[in-house]
Structure 1
Amino acid sequence: MRNMTDRRMLLVHAHPDDECINNGATMARYVDDGVGVTLVTCTAGEMGEVLVPDLSHLAYEEKGGLGERRRHELEQAMKVLGVTDHRFLGGFGRFHDSGMAWHEDGHAVAGEFVPDNAFWHADLTEAADELVPVIREVRPQVLVTYDQFGGYGHPDHIQAHRVAMYAAQLAAVPSYRLDLGEPHDIAKIYWTAMSESRMRASLRALREAGDTETFAGMEPDGKLPPFVTPDELISARVDGAATVQRKMDALAKHETQVRTDGHFFAGAESGHSWWSEEFYRLVKGTPGPADADGFEEDLFAGL
């Protein structure tokens, strides 16, 4: 590992495992580069689906306890990535997983039942005030979070976006809540993205291999869901070829949420070539130099 630099990155995610799926290779790469990487997870994912039959009793609708289990899974995943600064927004248990349901159009929405202390119901300013002191303490130059739709509509992802963006604004205000720390303005803010060209190429490989189940309902030349971003809207592409194995090993630690024989780890779209490239939209800051494809290669470029 290289010597620590003065570069710092803050990532804000909704549940344990979101960080590995979206940014695992990026996080490991910057850890290796000596960047200070801080992860803030907004809920413990208490209402997530339990994919391990022997642990089904942990489900919210059963005996419960999934949040504590996912807390442990997150700790193990961060050890694999090398991230030593990971926190829950406001402390563990401050905000509860809101749950979700599937809309007939194929995206997530709030379910009929939402717990009273759910993150989705949190007052925006109160939740942002839990993140402001983290921003002012860590003083990151780069913030990574979801887009305004949370990628696929999950209410906790949408709320994480809102909280991260509002907190970034509040943290920079010279006169705002000085009891929460010295004001800090984050230079560059990115939203996670999935490349349309990569998704279409993946779908084509799947269908040509005879796999009609993975990403069922999506076709190479058909309409794609909202979590897929047209390449012309993408600003940066991080090459995580050297760290993708750690990404996949870390993701496997979230064992209640992913199946190692599922589409993340098996099938025509799995493997290093697919998961090693992570894409981002720049929403604040000056873009750095672009590669031959027009993408920034370093989220800190231009600072």
Structure 2
Amino acid sequence: MALPDRRLLLVHAHPDDETINNGATMAKYVSEGAHVTLVTCTLGEMGEILVPELEHLAADRDDALGEHRLTELTEAMRLLGVTDFRRLGGDGRFRDSGMKWGDDGNATAADDIHENAFWHADLLEATNELVAVIREVRPQVLVTYDDFGNYGHPDHVQAHRVAHYAVALAAARSYRHDLGDAWDVAKVYWTAMSARAMREGIKEIREAGDLQFMEGLDPDHLPPFAIDDDDLDAEIDGSPWVDAKLDAMRAHATQISVDGPFFALSNDVAFRAWGTEHYRLVKGVAAPVPGTSFEDDLFAGTGV
């Protein structure tokens, strides 16, 4: 199969993670003719259900949320223009592990975890599934989570581990010829949010009179996915695709409330909050825009 010159691969844990973190970036590169591939590691079977009439889909009732979330993902990808989206190893190969909130305020592994949970997956077995995708698609750029999975969710952490192990093994010439020809991913990024931008946004919203927005969030003690600008490498302006991103977020209706704070922002704040996406470069050579500290293109420096 002939592929475009620029190829981007994203590795996420559950449906909706991709849209919240990278929806504008995905839509941007699709619009520019790049090939965008999304690998989702689970169907999100253990997710919270925010639509009352769909509560019967929960794991402790019909256990049909995963199938429903796949329809949400399909619609979200249609809205973003992404046609190549897959589940790691196929639908249902690895199950959502669920989570609980730890004493430190971050996510951690739940007390009871399904035997087929992604968190319990054999690392090499899961990695080989992704090695095959990398060697097929041959991306120059891969995006995934940091080592803490942004906020501690076990599936995010496992996705990080699988992604990095797969990048290493996919490049090994002598490893598993049956999975395709070796391919070295030039650049690997961790998705992140700018701590500076988050502080400014919270301040602006509260000064406008909305004191309940993100109540309890201390601008001086932000969550671990809020990263200081000194540790960020890329800032992608996706503002022309904000509407598509917000529509794709709405498509994940069981997970994101259309009446919630995601959609309560003023237009100006929303465009800054959802239209600018930040990344940390962890493999490859940074190629920032001259006179700045940020790249404005994830493919910068790759020669394509």
TM-score by length of 1: 0.96
Mapped to 2, the partners of 1:210 and 1:59 lie a distance apart of 37
Distance 2:235 2:22 in 1: 11
Amino acid of the structure 1 residue aligned with 2:192 = A
Amino acid at match of 2:21: N
Secondary structure at the aligned position of 1:297 is classed as: coil
2:254 pairs with one of 250, 253, 256: 256
Residue of structure 1 equivalent to 2:202: 203
Tell me by how many angstroms 1:273 deviates.
2.1
What CA distance in whole angstroms lies between the structure 2 residues aligned with 1:85 and 1:42?
14
Secondary structure of the structure 2 residue equivalent to 1:80:
helix
The structure-2 alpha-carbon separation of the partners of 1:296 and 1:42, relative to structure 1 and needing over 3 Å to count, comes to same
Could you say which residue in structure 1 is the equivalent of 2:237? 239
* 1:265 Cα offset (Å): 0.8
Partner of 2:39: 40
Aligned amino acid, residue 206 of structure 1: I
Distance 1:56 1:200, change over 3 A: same
Q: Kindly state the Cα deviation for residue 288 of structure 1 after the two structures are TM-superposed.
A: 1.4
| Residue number in structure 1 paired with 2:293 | 294
Q: Tell me how far 1:35 sits from its aligned partner.
A: 0.2
Letter in 2 for 1:163: V
Separation in 2 of the partners of 1:163 and 1:215?
32
Query: What is the match of residue 54 of structure 1?
Result: 53
How far apart are the structure 2 equivalents of 1:171 and 1:133?
8
| Alignment partner of 1:226 out of 217, 224, 227 | 224
Partner of 2:30, secondary structure, is helix
Deviation at 1:224, TM superposition (A): 1.3
Q: Check conservation: 1:289, 1:302, Cα contact below 8 A.
A: no
Q: SS of the counterpart of 1:92?
A: coil
Task: State the alpha-carbon separation in 1 of the partners of residues 108 and 245 from structure 2.
Answer: 28
The 3-state SS of whatever aligns with 1:255 is coil
Normalising by structure 2, report the TM-score: 0.95
Corresponding position: 1:191 with 2:185: no
Contact 2:100 2:107 in 1 (8 A): yes
Instruction: Give 3-state SS (helix, strand or coil) of 2:280's partner.
Output: strand
Name 2:7's counterpart in structure 1: 8
1:107 aligned residue: 106
Q: Structure 1 stretch 152-161 or stretch 4-13: which is displaced more?
A: 4-13
Q: Name the stretch that deviates more: 18-27 or 240-249.
A: 240-249
Are residues 288 and 246 of structure 1, via their aligned partners in 2, closer, same or farther at CA, if it must alter by over 3 Å?
same
Q: Would you say the 8 A contact 1:50–1:56 is kept in 2? A: yes
CA contact (8 A) 1:132 1:167 kept: yes
Aligned to 1:152: 151
Deviation at 1:178, TM superposition (A): 0.7
- The CA distance in 1 between the partners of 2:186 and 2:132, in whole Å, is 17
CA deviation digits over 1:266-299, x for unaligned, max 9? Answer: 1469622210000000001111132654110000
Q: Which runs of 5+ in 1 are unaligned?
A: none
Structure 1 stretch displaced more, 146-155 or 103-112: 103-112
What are structure 2's unaligned runs of at least 5 residues? none
Corresponding residue for 1:93? 92
Query: What amino acid is aligned across from residue 224 of structure 1 in structure 2?
Result: L
Q: Report the more deviating stretch, 4-13 or 112-121.
A: 4-13
Q: Decide whether aligned partners of structure 1 residues 265 and 292 sit closer, same or farther in structure 2, where only a CA change above 3 A counts.
A: farther
Q: Percentage identity across aligned positions? A: 60
1:137-193 Cα offsets, whole Å, 9 max, x none, are: 000000000000000100000000000010010000011111111000000000001
Q: Is the 8 A contact 1:204 1:219 kept in 2?
A: no
Q: Which residue of 1 aligns with 2:70?
A: 71
1:224-252 deviations in whole A, cap 9, x for unaligned? Answer: 11111111000000000111111111111
Q: Which moved more, 1:292-301 or 1:37-46?
A: 292-301
Which aligned segments of 4 or more residues in structure 1 are displaced greater than 6 angstroms?
none
Report the 3-state secondary structure (helix = DSSP H, G, I; strand = E; otherwise coil) of the residue aligned with 1:77. Answer: helix
Aligned partner of residue 264 in structure 1, secondary structure: helix
Q: Tell me, what secondary structure is at the counterpart of 1:45?
A: coil
